[in-house]
Every structure is written in structure tokens, then in C-alpha cells.
Amino acid sequence: MSNIIVWGFCGKTNNIIDELRANKHLDIFTISDHPSADLNIISCFKRRFSFPKKSSFEVSKMESFFLEFKELYSRHWYPKKMSNQKYREIFTNYIHYFWNLLESRKISTVIFSNIPHEGPDFILYHLAKYKNVKTLIFYQSLFENRVFLSETLDFLDNQLVKTTELHKKSPQQEIEYKVDKTIESVGCWFYMRRMKISNNLAPIQLYRNSRRHFKKNAFLLLKILFAEIAHFFHYHMTNKDSLSLKDSDYVYFPLHLQPELTTAVLGGVYVDQILALKKLRELLPENIKIVVKENPFQSSFKRPLGYYFELKKIKNLLLVPMSYNSIDLIYNSKGVATITGTCGWEAINMNKPALVFGKAWYCKLKGVYNYNSEIERREFLKFETENYNVRENTIEFVKNYTIPGIVDPAYIKIYKDFKPIENIRCLVEVITNNIK
């Protein structure tokens, strides 16, 4: 009998939980939005979540993760604010709750349907690692019906679980088709298609979004609306830089949407993107500009007043309007720098080098350089434009390090042949083959 905790598999993928429960060799504790979940995932984020008792665990051993937890957990309470003391109290309570759970149920494996990035799941992951409990982390890829599986959060150290012989049976032609289709999507990703850049309408759209989320609290509605309007004007006061694409030597750095796991978990200290930009400025020759563009989905959260002024203090940095086309900015650049963004993979598809500060899924592909390696930093600075054989290298990577399946319901829309029963069968088989 294997005792496991399953975090996630929400919405259209939660039937996976039913299938796992049907396995008589598994004793499962579920944290999900599934109707029969042992712990409802929404209630887990509530400030008044009930914690039964303290555990024997020494909380100070998790101290190094407190600031990351605070960054992740804050997203659930915006625009409300909590004191540092309150964050610490909640942090401590989660530690005791999950340690008791791991101990009392003698857990051998913890499974996450996505990279832990909400706060409580982040604590559960690190407690499991401290206790030498196996972890399995799914992460949906951009390639239709393909998902990554890792045993740790560190993709840079080749911790992705290699595809089993069973799942290598995916025909080569099928893998090639999926990679080619994804390459064709460069510049028009499905999650960006609903965004039409119309700066004049931004406050109106933000009002609609605010009303939907805060319609029960007029004060919060007004608070967030005023914050968004202030952010809107602050941004447009500072992004007046213009750029002649063909006559400029520059490295392109598109800002990440925050808060998101791409920076908060996979970015490490570079969750602070201004820090990454300062490091980039120190690295680049003085005559090479840094061109920055804001993410069109970004709200005032994680962009306090003064953020863009601080950004503009960096020498030879241009903050261009969102109306600039990202593909044009990549194509005319000497290279791209990012924390973990898809723009890095887009860059090497256009034969431009990419510098990554975090743990990007594509970090081992040719043409991608890791900022934390002095040797690779020097290689990036050569700004060599060459054929990086992205298609061939990506096909090999997808074949070796992804499995068929969808764990994020948002990605069902890009796979017209999605079959729920087949999806469940495949993912459950992978899970049962990899648990202790």
C-alpha cells in the first residue's frame, strides 16, 4: 500500500483523482476542487483556515523559504494587505499542518498537477523534500497534449523524468507535427490571443475585471480601480521611448506577468526583474541598449508606483510602448534576455541567442545561455546569429522529456482531439509507475 498526497487536478482533469482512488493499492489524501476532496483547495487559501495542532517540526528549519512563501501567498489577498507578522503566523500554521499530515499518514509520495506556486503547496513540497518523501511535479508544455514530469523544482539540473519506453511509442511523425505546430504559433500563443493592445481602453477593461471579482465589496472595487488607473498613468508617463528597430543595437527583455510561477518559483532571486536588468546592464557593453516592454496583462499588483521610474534609472534602457510587436523586437535584436519566458525559445527559433536567469524548460537547447554560468555569459555576448537547429533539438527534447497528457484544463482548447478517458488512463499509468 502506497500512501500519497495529490495536490490539484482541478476542473476538467479531476476525474484523474477518481481513477487513482479506484486503485486498491493506493491510500490517497486529496487537495483539490473535486467534490470528494479531503481538503478543498479553495478553503486551503483562506486566512481563517483551521489548523488542528502544532507539530514536532522545528519551524526555523524552513525559515529560508519564508520570503518566497510570502511572495506566492500574497496573490490570494490582493488588494488587502497583511502584516509581516500575520504572514509568518500563516506560514507557521501551514508548516505544522502539512508536517502532521505527512507524519500521521506515513506519506511516501506527493504529487502536484502543477509547479507548486500558490504558497501552501510550496510549503508542502519543501517539507516533503526535507523528509525525503518523493515528489512528482507535472508541468503543462506548449506542445499540444504533452506534459513535463519532474521530481524537483530544478529543471536546470536535468531533473525532468525521462520518458518511459511505453510512452516513447508516440510516433516520430506525431512528435514532429506537434513541434511544427508550436513553432507556427510563435508570436500568437493561444493565451495571448484575447489581448488586443488598446491602451486607451485599459482602465475600462480593468474596471470590468474588478467589478467581477469584487462586486460584493464596493470599497475593494474602488480601491483596486484607483490603483489600476494610477498604474495606467504611471506606465504611460514613463514609456515614451521610441526605437528605430533596424538602426539600433539592443538586447530585448520583455517583462514577465507577475505574480506568476515563471518568476516567483522558477526565477529564484530574479523574481525581482529590476535586479535581473541591473545584472544585464553590468554584463552588456555600454553601447548595447536594453529594450524593455511591459506584459500587456500586468496590473498594478507587483508594479507599485515608482516601479517604472526605478526601471528607467538603468543606463541606456528604453521602455517602449506595448504597441511594439514582440516578434519584430526579437527579430531585430542582437539577442533576448528573460527570466524563464517563452520569448527565449522564440528567439532561438529566429536564430537569436537567449540569456535566461531562471529555470526555463528550454534551457538545455542550443543557443540558450544560463546567466549563472560565467562561460555561458561570455558565449551569449558573442551575439552569434546561426542556425541553432531548434526544430530537430526540440523534437528530440519533447520525445525524451514529455509524456502524452493534459493536466491544465486551459490547454484542452489547443488540442482538438482531446479524449478525457485516454488522458486519464495515460496520466494515471505514469503516476502509478513512478510512485514509491
Mark whether 139 and 246 lie in a shared domain: no
Task: Let me know if residue 273 belongs to a domain.
Answer: yes
Q: How far apart are CA 331 and CA 320, in angstroms?
A: 16
Task: Let me know if residue 194 belongs to a domain.
Answer: no
Q: How far apart are CA 78 and CA 4, in angstroms?
A: 32
Task: Let me know if residue 225 belongs to a domain.
Answer: no
Q: Strands 354-356, 39-40: parallel, antiparallel or unpaired by DSSP?
A: unpaired
Mark whether 258 and 117 lie in a shared domain: no
β-sheet with 39-40: strand ranges across: 39-40, 26-32, 2-7, 109-112, 134-140, 146-150, 403-404
pLDDT in tens, the chain (436 residues): 799 999 999 888 888 998 999 988 999 999 998 888 888 887 777 655 666 678 888 999 999 999 999 988 887 766 567 788 988 989 999 999 999 999 999 999 999 999 999 999 999 999 999 999 999 999 999 999 999 999 998 765 555 666 555 455 677 888 888 898 888 887 766 666 555 444 444 554 455 545 555 555 666 666 666 566 665 655 666 666 667 777 779 999 999 987 788 888 899 899 999 999 999 999 999 999 999 998 877 766 677 778 888 888 999 999 888 788 899 999 999 999 999 999 999 999 999 999 999 999 999 899 999 998 888 999 999 988 778 888 999 999 998 889 999 999 989 988 888 899 999 999 999 999 888 6
Q: How far apart are CA 280 and CA 333, in angstroms?
A: 15
Confidence (pLDDT) at 197: 46
**Strand pairing partners for 146?**
404
Answer for the pair 5, 101: CB distance below 8 angstroms, yes or no: yes
Confidence (pLDDT) at 156: 53
**Strand pairing partners for 369?**
355
Residue 354 main-chain phi, psi, to 5 deg: -125, 135
Which CATH number does the domain housing residue 357 bear?
3.40.50.2000
- The 10 Å CB-count burial string (b at 16+, else e) for 327-346 is eebbbbbbbbbbbbbbbbbb
Task: Let me know if residue 211 belongs to a domain.
Answer: no
Task: Let me know if residue 184 belongs to a domain.
Answer: no
> Which residue range(s) make up the domain with 261?
239-393
11 C-beta neighbours (distance < 10 Å), count = 13
The grid coordinates of residue 235 equal: 506606465
Count of domains observed in the chain: 2
Answer for the pair 267, 357: CB distance below 8 angstroms, yes or no: yes
Task: Let me know if residue 304 belongs to a domain.
Answer: yes
Mark whether 315 and 417 lie in a shared domain: no
Answer for the pair 144, 179: CB distance below 8 angstroms, yes or no: no
Residue 406 is which amino acid?
I
Q: Which residues contact 20 (CB under 8 A, 6 or more apart)?
A: 4, 6, 26, 28, 428, 431, 432
Task: Let me know if residue 369 belongs to a domain.
Answer: yes
Task: Let me know if residue 210 belongs to a domain.
Answer: no
Confidence (pLDDT) at 184: 84
Mark whether 256 and 152 lie in a shared domain: no
**Strand pairing partners for 356?**
338, 370
User: What is the secondary structure of 34-100 as a DSSP string?
Assistant: STT-SEETTGGG-TT-------S--GGGGGGGHHHHHHHHGGGTTTS---HHHHHHHHHHHHHHHHH
The grid coordinates of residue 361 equal: 524548460
Mark whether 19 and 76 lie in a shared domain: yes
Answer for the pair 102, 133: CB distance below 8 angstroms, yes or no: yes
Confidence (pLDDT) at 198: 43
In terms of DSSP H, where are the helices of 172-217?
172-184, 202-214
Mark whether 11 and 40 lie in a shared domain: yes
CA distances from 268 to 322, 324, 357, 427 (A): 26, 29, 9, 29
Q: Which residue has the cell 521530481?
A: 151
Mark whether 256 and 135 lie in a shared domain: no
Residue 423 main-chain phi, psi, to 5 deg: -60, -45
Mark whether 122 and 57 lie in a shared domain: yes
Q: How far apart are CA 343 and CA 196, in angstroms?
A: 19
- Segment (H or E) for 331: helix 326-331
Mark whether 331 and 417 lie in a shared domain: no
Mark whether 386 and 414 lie in a shared domain: no
Mark whether 63 and 164 lie in a shared domain: yes
In the chain the first and final C-alpha atoms are separated, in Å, by: 9
Mark whether 311 and 364 lie in a shared domain: yes
